[in-house]
Structure 1
Amino acid sequence: MIENKEKSVSVYAEANPNPESMKFVLSTTLAPDSVSVDYPNLESAANSPLAQELFNFDYVSRVFIASNFVTVTKNTDIQWVQLIPELRNFIKSYVEAGGPIFLQNPAAEQAQANTDATAELTGEDAVISQKVIDLLENYVRPAVEQDGGNITFKSYNQGVVTVNLQGSCSGCPSATITLKSGIENLLKRMVPEVTEVVAEGVTDFGY
């Protein structure tokens, strides 16, 4: 069980491009370096007691946990100015009390997800997929984490890279613009075999 033993923690809310999400930044570490975990629903949060507790707020629809922040997505028309104090106080109290963030190290889950995504690929496709994964991890991930989200590799097939949108990136109005004008251009430039980047479950890019 991974716990946080800090006794004095500061938490502040930070807006991001997704109006339905809010990033809560802490003065302590929640997840190991280079690890982030996305929980789109309560059922997926079995490894995170913190995420499970956040889903107890009936307006919480998604929880994303990274190194020193939690991104919460809401499913209500109630404005954030009314919700932030309750969530900020809960997160602060929970972490200061030493509540467990994860039951098991989430780094293993993340590594397994990457392995599963490339398990059936062979030869050139496997090499291309690993290049894409490395670019997403090293160049894209740090940038999108600033906005409280993440974009991860799902598959590669005949030039098309499929990614998963996580945290604030999921459902964000500007995510498709970032996907096409930023990430797709980067991958095409660095990996010539890539012809297109799409997000799973998103078909309308406004193009």
Structure 2
Amino acid sequence: MFIETETTPNPASLKFLPGQQVMPSGTREFASPEAAEASPLAQALFDTGEVVNVFFGGDFISVTAAPGVNWSTLKPQVLSILLDHYASQAPLFAPGTAAGISVPPEAEMQVEEDPADKEIIEQINDLLDERVRPAVAGDGGDIAYRGYKDGVVYLTMQGACSGCPSSTATLKHGIEGLLKHYIPEVTEVRAAG
């Protein structure tokens, strides 16, 4: 088995492509060792002591190194863990855990939405699904919708995009511009969480 790696705009993150499906649907982020207990693979990556975030996408895994960690020493460890996981055909998630949820329960909607905005919210989610998520996945991450209220769209960057130096610019200049262009009711995009 050969696992490709790609750099991401976040210098602390690398994207690993195992050449097969990782998540059958949705995405899953592990931002702490406690969260990683749901997945033996994520837990093994955190057990290196040098990983601060693991993100499962459709066909990739993004890993974020702790501050000060050198990828030249961490990358072989991560590749070894991934190769062992796929060679053993171990399950991605521990039995009895919630597998493919892209929004952990503690980070669901952060604003109370007005039912009258249902059509606008559908348009926002359609644009995010069609135009934004594919581009963000290309960089090793995802974007989670957190709500819409009074013209403001609340989003959270995930995976390699979380903590990326360019994530603020992506939200403010890229995504905000796109949403404002297609949906005049949108006045601003804010990072949630």
Same fold (TM over 0.5): yes
Q: Which of residues 25, 34, 41 in structure 1 aligns to 2:32?
A: 41
Pairing 1:106–2:99 present: yes
Task: Give 3-state SS (helix, strand or coil) of 1:101's partner.
Answer: coil
Q: Could you state the TM-score of these two structures normalised by the residue count of structure 2?
A: 0.88
CA shift for structure 1 position 117: 3.1
For residues 71 and 103 of structure 2, what CA distance do their matches in structure 1 show?
A: 34
Q: Which residue number in structure 2 is paired with residue 96 of structure 1? A: 87
Aligned partner of residue 137 in structure 1, secondary structure: helix
Distance in structure 1 (CA, Å) of the matches to 2:128 and 2:41:
27
Matched with 2:147 is: 155
Whether 1:15 and 2:7 are equivalent positions in the alignment is: yes
Q: Does the CA contact (< 8 Å) of 1:118 and 1:126 recur in 2?
A: no
SS of corresponding position for 1:77: coil
Q: Output aligned runs, 1:11-160, within 5 Å.
A: 11-33=3-25, 35-103=26-94, 106-107=99-100, 109-110=101-102, 117=109, 121-160=113-152
Quick check: 2:156–2:192 contact (8 Å CA) kept in 1?
yes
Letter in 1 for 2:158: Q
The yes-or-no answer on 1:169 pairing with 2:161 is: yes
Q: 1:78 to 1:119 in 2, by over 3 A?
A: closer
> Number of residues paired by the alignment?
189
Letter in 1 for 2:177: N
CA drift of 1:46 comes to 3.9
- The AA in structure 1 aligned to 2:90 is G
Distance 1:85 1:16 in 2: 17
- Please give the alpha-carbon distance, in whole angstroms, between the structure 1 residues aligned to 2:80 and 2:4: 10
SS of residue paired to 1:132:
helix
Change (3 A) 1:146 1:56: same
Provide the secondary structure at the position in 1 that maps to 2:53: strand
Q: Is the 8 A contact 2:114 2:149 kept in 1?
A: no
Cα deviation for residue 119 of structure 1 reads 9.7
Cα root mean square deviation, aligned: 2.1
In 2 relative to 1, CA 45–143 (structure 1 residues): closer, same or farther, beyond 3 Å?
same
Number of the residue aligned with 2:189: 197
Which whole-Å CA distance do the structure 1 matches of 2:69 and 2:102 have between them?
Answer: 33
Which secondary structure state, in structure 2, belongs to the residue aligned with residue 67 of structure 1? coil
- Runs of at least 5 residues in structure 2 that lack an aligned partner in the other structure: none
Identity of paired residues, percent? 39
**TM-score, reference length from structure 1:** 0.83
Q: Deviations over 1:148-205 (max 9, x none)?
A: 011110011101111011011111111111111110011111111110001124xxxx
